[in-house]
Amino acid sequence: MASLRYSVGLDYHWQTIRVCVLGPDGSVLRNKECGNDVEAIVGVVADSLRGQAEGEVWVGIESSCGAADLAEKLRQRTNWQVHLGHPGYIARMRQNPDKTDMHDAHLLADLVRVNYLPRVWLAPLEIRELRMLVRYRQDLARQRRAVKLQIRALLREQRISTYLRPWTKGWLEWVATEAPLSEQGRWLMAQRLQQLRESQAKLAAAEKRLADVTSSDPEVARLQEYKGIGRVTSWTLRAEIGRFDRFSSGKQLSRFCGLSPRNASSGQRQADAGLVQAANRELRTVLIEAAHRLIRNDAHWSGFATRLLERGKPKSVVVAAVANRWARRLYQEMKEPLPSAA
């Protein structure tokens, strides 16, 4: 005889959590707010199940900032089955236009009860920490890019140009000392150049930290063996994908990376609408950049791109197609984890 299952929905907030406990028949045993604390949650669930027949406890939490940490601590503290739910899909399942914590917790518990919670992967702690470092580096890279644009904009504003190649040591020295800027322009340029030096120093420190953290990671080393994959790409793939074997196919991995074409057909009209929108944009960006390198440096992918171009495909579509095909091939080669992989 199958054991009974009690379903718990946790509506997560920074300071409080709404806990809804459902019996095997869907009856509400408790719908109560408690503090954002593992022991407080365990206490609410234990009080709800007092006097009930023994059974398994399955928990659903909508994925959000801090939810993964709570889910892991609940797993360590109890023998419950704890799952993260996809926030986008859960939002579409809400049938009531009114949104309350009580209703959201009940919805999560009910989705767990009928085994219809749209689950997302609960990454282990080391992968979540690597993600923090990778995303911090991405923020620093964006800041450096913004400062560079501001420096070029200031030169264009005052119609100043030179034969020197931009961003070389000589060009930066010319900008700092010789460019014929106005008085206020010279002061602003000094501030921008200082910002650039600071952002470059922070970026270098972040990359050194990432190199140290991943120095003994066999999956990162394995990724860097591929042509066109450098340190930044391997760090991003390892942090955002984690394990390749958690996907059932290369097509599923490619869609997760945002490289699958989106169809917008209706009736007799057949049309493409670019790439899928629901994707990790930073992950897609590094894979598109890797595709550019593959087209330049790898004979196989260069030939594939040439054939598509000869058929009249736009270059942007060709690059995305190379990234899509390459990601699928990467899945086939990486889906078998190394014996020492987490």
**Which CATH number fits the domain that encloses residue 85?**
3.30.420.40
Q: In the structure encoding, which two tokens stand for residue 338, read together?
A: 């190394």
- Residue type (1 letter), 204: A
Banded pLDDT at 266 (limits 50, 70, 90) = low
Domain boundary among 213, 245, 280: 213
Domain boundary among 175, 195, 213: 213
Same domain, 58 and 157: no
Report pLDDT digits (tens) over 201-238. 999 999 999 999 999 999 999 999 998 899 999 999 99
Bridge partners of residue 71, in order along the sequence: none
Judge contact between 119 and 83, C-beta under 8 A. yes
Same domain, 144 and 110: no
**Per-residue exposure over 79-95, b if at least 16 CB sit within 10 Å of its own CB, e if not:** ebbbbbbeeebbeeeee
Report pLDDT digits (tens) over 171-196. 999 999 999 999 999 999 999 999 99
Q: How far apart are CA 154 and CA 137, in angstroms?
A: 26
Q: In the structure encoding, which two tokens stand for residue 170, read together?
A: 């000589």
Q: How far is CA 230 from the centre of its chain?
A: 19
Q: How far apart are CA 297 and CA 115, in angstroms?
A: 47
Q: Is residue 230 part of a domain?
A: yes
Q: How far apart are CA 30 and CA 24, in angstroms?
A: 13
Banded pLDDT at 10 (limits 50, 70, 90) = very high
Judge whether residue 102 has pLDDT over 80.
Answer: yes
Tell how many helices (H) and how many strands (E) occur in the chain.
13, 8
Q: How far apart are CA 31 and CA 300, in angstroms?
A: 59
Distance from the first to the final alpha carbon of the chain: 35
- Fill in the DSSP letter of residue 3: P
Q: In the structure encoding, which two tokens stand for residue 278, read together?
A: 């629901």
Domain that holds residue 303: 219-334
Q: Which residues, other chains included, contact 247 with Cβ-Cβ below 8 Å and sequence gap of 6+? A: 253, 256, 331, 335
User: What is the rounded average pLDDT of the residues 90-104?
Assistant: 84
User: What is the rounded average pLDDT of the residues 278-305?
Assistant: 92
Same domain, 107 and 171: no
Same domain, 63 and 13: yes
Q: How many domains does the chain have?
A: 3
Domain boundary among 93, 120, 147: 120
Judge whether residue 140 has pLDDT over 90.
Answer: yes
Q: What is the pLDDT of residue 129?
A: 96
Q: What is the pLDDT of residue 97?
A: 73
Taking 3-state DSSP, the helix, strand and coil percentages for the chain, each rounded to the nearest 5, stand at: 55, 15, 30
Banded pLDDT at 270 (limits 50, 70, 90) = low
Strand order in the sheet with 55-62: 28-35, 16-22, 4-12, 55-62, 81-85, 119-120
Judge contact between 232 and 136, C-beta under 8 A. no
Q: Which residues, other chains included, contact 283 with Cβ-Cβ below 8 Å and sequence gap of 6+? A: 236, 237, 240, 241, 257, 258
Q: Is residue 228 part of a domain?
A: yes
